[in-house]
């Protein structure tokens, strides 16, 4: 007997997987935000380059400032171009992370040469720390790494170059400012990260079974169609329908039917690969997207699930309930079609399986 322990709040996705999936679905918004931040940073750097040139005659500019700013400006231009061309959230994260480290190095180099005038440096440091935590759409781990690298490096610079010029209370206040900015940033980012994961679960998870819902499945399907169109890799859609749920609901009540649905969802999930997409399609119907799987392999998977479902048992009031499943299967190869047409083909195959006596696999 299969016991169901999974529920809506205990989805079997790790935090990083949830964050990555959420980032994929938020790609358009986060991509625009990253481009805006890079553009603003570039504008600020150009303004400072202009200020450097205006102060050259007064000998108020360190020789290393302008070249350093040029490197940061070029990094911002290249970063903007790369982000604009990307369609993968994780790659955008890596590009933005490298861009952020380059700009941090640029700030640290300039900070280490501004020994006497510390107030503007301190203000920019705090603004940078806050910006890392609140503005850049990094994953949580990237924010922590970037902000800590910057804060520790800035603290070392203060200790080496500026402590002799400031009284102890002023030094303490400055270091406390770095500490408070990071503590506050970590706390808020952690809360935001948790909210993002919970929001993702609410939007993409079926509350009864804990597997993906219809909305999430339809968000994933166009991406697989696009991959097939680009690379020619086949994939298959498998539609499942429990055969006797109505009779179980009528005889034992809807709680028994819900328990059966949860058991079947858990059972199917255990039979599929991690790269496959599995979702509750509605009522007693489930759907699976078998990545890079042709018709013969998909049929083998469907037959295995059909056969093993017959041995699936749940216990209700001293009685053992069993069920069977009808399955419709369709495969996409070179003939890439729309998502709607693909689902229609799978649904027609399922209809044929039901009309042929149930507990069968039909192919369309």
Comparison of pLDDT for 207 and 296, the residue scoring more = 296
Give yes or no for a contact between 271 and 305, defined as CB atoms under 8 angstroms apart. Answer: yes
Give the closest residue to 233 by CA, choosing from 330, 303, 329, 336: 336
High-pLDDT (> 70) share of the chain, %: 88
Mean pLDDT value across residues 53-68 = 75
- Strongest mean pLDDT among 38-47, 100-109, 156-165, 265-274: 38-47
Mean pLDDT value across residues 68-91 = 89
Here the contacts of 253-257 (C-beta below 8 Å, separation 24 or greater) are 256/314, 256/316, 256/321, 257/284
pLDDT tens digits, one per residue of 241-259: 888 888 888 888 888 888 8
Give yes or no for a contact between 260 and 314, defined as CB atoms under 8 angstroms apart. Answer: yes
pLDDT at 102 over 70: yes
- Strongest mean pLDDT among 16-30, 130-144, 187-201: 130-144
pLDDT tens digits, one per residue of 25-44: 677 788 888 899 999 999 99
Q: Within the chain, which residue ranges are assigned CATH 3.30.70.270?
A: 214-363
pLDDT at 166: 65
| 16: confidence class by pLDDT, cuts 50, 70, 90 | low
Comparison of pLDDT for 72 and 18, the residue scoring more = 72
pLDDT at 93 over 90: no
pLDDT at 118: 67
Give yes or no for a contact between 271 and 301, defined as CB atoms under 8 angstroms apart. Answer: yes
Give the mean pLDDT of the chain: 81
Comparison of pLDDT for 119 and 206, the residue scoring more = 206
pTM, full prediction: 0.61
| 10: confidence class by pLDDT, cuts 50, 70, 90 | very low
pLDDT at 342: 86
pLDDT at 8: 32
pLDDT at 120 over 80: no
pLDDT at 115: 61
Comparison of pLDDT for 187 and 62, the residue scoring more = 187
| 61: confidence class by pLDDT, cuts 50, 70, 90 | low
Mean pLDDT value across residues 54-63 = 70
Give yes or no for a contact between 333 and 225, defined as CB atoms under 8 angstroms apart. Answer: no
Mean pLDDT value across residues 54-74 = 79
Give the separation between CA 79 and CA 119, rounded to whole angstroms.
30
For residue 296, the tally of other CB atoms under 10 A from its CB is 9
pLDDT at 215: 84
Longest dimension (CA), the chain: 93
Q: Which residues have a Cβ under 8 Å from the Cβ of 350 and sit 6 or more positions away?
A: 239, 240, 241, 326, 327, 328, 362
pLDDT at 111: 79
- In the sheet that holds 361-363, the strands lie side by side as 277-282, 285-290, 235-242, 325-332, 361-363
pLDDT at 19: 59
CATH annotation of 214-363: 3.30.70.270
pLDDT at 1: 31
């Amino acid at each position: 007997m299969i016991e169901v322990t999974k529920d809506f709040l205990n989805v079997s996705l790790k935090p990083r997987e949830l964050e990555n999936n959420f980032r994929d679905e938020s790609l358009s918004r986060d991509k625009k935000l990253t481009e805006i931040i890079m553009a603003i940073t570039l504008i600020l750097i150009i303004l400072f380059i202009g200020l450097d040139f205006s102060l050259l005659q007064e000998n108020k500019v360190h020789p290393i400032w302008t070249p350093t700013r040029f490197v940061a400006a070029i990094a911002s231009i290249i970063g903007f171009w790369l982000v604009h061309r990307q369609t993968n959230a994780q790659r955008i994260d890596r590009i933005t992370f490298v861009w952020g480290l380059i700009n941090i190095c640029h700030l640290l180099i300039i900070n280490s040469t501004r020994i006497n005038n510390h107030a503007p440096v301190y203000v920019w440091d705090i603004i940078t720390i806050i910006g890392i935590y609140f503005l850049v759409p990094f994953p949580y781990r990237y924010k922590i790494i970037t902000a800590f690298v910057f804060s520790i490096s800035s603290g070392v610079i203060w200790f080496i170059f500026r402590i002799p010029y400031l009284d102890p209370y002023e030094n303490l206040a400055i270091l406390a400012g770095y500490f408070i900015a990071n503590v506050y940033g970590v706390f808020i980012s952690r809360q935001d990260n948790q909210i993002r994961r919970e929001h993702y679960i609410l939007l993409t998870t079926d509350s009864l079974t804990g597997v993906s819902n219809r909305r999430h499945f339809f968000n994933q399907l166009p991406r697989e169609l696009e991959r097939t169109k680009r690379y020619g890799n086949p994939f298959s859609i498998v539609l499942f329908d429990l055969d006797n749920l109505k009779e179980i609901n009528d005889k034992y009540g809807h709680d028994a039917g819900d328990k059966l649905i949860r058991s079947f969802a858990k059972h199917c999930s255990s039979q599929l690969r991690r790269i496959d997409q599995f979702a509750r399609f509605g009522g007693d119907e489930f759907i699976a997207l078998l990545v890079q799987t042709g018709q013969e392999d998909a049929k083998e998977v469907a037959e295995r699930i059909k056969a093993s479902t017959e041995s699936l048992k749940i216990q209700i009031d001293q009685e053992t309930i069993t069920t069977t499943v009808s399955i419709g299967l369709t495969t996409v190869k070179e003939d890439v079609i729309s998502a709607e047409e693909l689902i229609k083909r799978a649904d027609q195959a399922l209809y044929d399986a039901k009309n042929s006596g149930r507990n069968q696999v039909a192919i369309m």
